[in-house]
Amino acid sequence: MDIDVLGALDVRENGVSITPTAPKPRQVLALLALHADQVVPLAVLVEELWAASPPRSARTTLQTYVLQLRELISAALRRDAPGHPARSAKDVLVTAPGGYMLVSGGGASDVREFDRLAGAGYRAMDAGDFPGASRLLREALDLWTGTALAGVQPGAQLQMEARRLEESQLCALDQRIEADLKLGRHRELLAELTVLASRYPTHENLHAQFMIALYRSGRRGEAMDVYRTLRTTLVKELGLEPSARLSRLHTSLLEAGADTVGPGPHLDDGDLVPAV
């Protein structure tokens, strides 16, 4: 079974999609796919589908959705190659004590591959291998084809899972940009950081990276504008001043000579790319 959730939900058995079109069976499959090879408790599935107000028939209705998914799985299993061990839909979507489990059978999962590549990228960063970190994190981010679980109407559980995935994506993106800055790719990053600063108007680290990229590209005035815009947004929306690290970066850029467009202000690595 192959599972894609970093974009539109797509679950395939034998290369055949088993993703239903009906909203609630789609929710059930999404939650099972995110926790493939683990039992998802009935209570979690019921909460996802009906929040705090499940109908009396909740469990019976959930069983109906599971049967619909098994029908799709059965149709896909009929395409098993000759000699392949016979399996039933119940072997793939298993009824377990207290819940259900989707058995992946060792198939591909974009989330698992993302986690593997991102983890390797973080280790490369820690080791000072910035070319390797940039490559690995870029490969991890390339697995995203859109918003996580696109096309699924999420309940509370799936909303939480989508936020978790998007935070993982943002962390990998942040580290990939840091690696690219350390490799001197500041001009190449400007267009991307322009979009990201607009998309995440209160994310200090991305704005710090944008300021550094602008400064190193000889655009110190625009770097100051980025800081002023961020400060205004933080004060207006959150009632907060920029962090001490970002303020130090701002002061360093202010004090830098107007003609200085070398490697950047004399800050340590932690201040060049402040942690959030």
DSSP output for 200-250: STT-HHHHHHHHHHHHHTT-HHHHHHHHHHHHHHIIIIIS-PPPHHHHHHH
With 60 as the cut, is the pLDDT of residue 55 above it?
yes
- The first and second tokens of residue 245, run together, are 């690290």
Strand partners, 26: none
With 80 as the cut, is the pLDDT of residue 185 above it?
yes
Query: What is residue 34's predicted lDDT score, i.e. its pLDDT?
Result: 96
- Domains of the chain, start order: 2-102 (1.10.10.10), 186-276 (1.25.40.10)
With 50 as the cut, is the pLDDT of residue 273 above it?
no
Average pLDDT over residues 80-93: 75
9: left (phi over 0), alpha (psi -120 to 50) or beta: beta
As a whole number of angstroms, the distance between CA 252 and CA 26 comes to 52
**How far, CA to CA in Å, does 83 sit from each of 15, 75, 87, 230?**
17, 18, 12, 62
| Burial 187-215, CB ≥16 within 10 A → b, else e | eebbebbeebbeeeeebbbbbbbbbbbbb
| Helices and strands, counts by H and E, the chain | 12, 6
Helix (H, G, I), strand (E, B) or coil at 53: coil
Banded model confidence at residue 260, pLDDT cuts 50, 70, 90 = very low
- The first and second tokens of residue 21, run together, are 């079109």
- Give the DSSP H/E element, type plus range, for residue 156: helix 156-182
Query: What is residue 31's predicted lDDT score, i.e. its pLDDT?
Result: 97
Query: What is residue 85's predicted lDDT score, i.e. its pLDDT?
Result: 57
Model confidence pLDDT, tens digit, residues 118-163: 999 999 999 999 999 999 999 999 999 999 999 999 999 999 999 9
- Nearest residue to 215 via CA among 254, 241, 179: 254
Banded model confidence at residue 255, pLDDT cuts 50, 70, 90 = confident
Calculate the average pLDDT of the chain.
90
Banded model confidence at residue 256, pLDDT cuts 50, 70, 90 = confident
Asked whether the beta carbons of 55 and 61 are under 8 A apart, the reply is yes
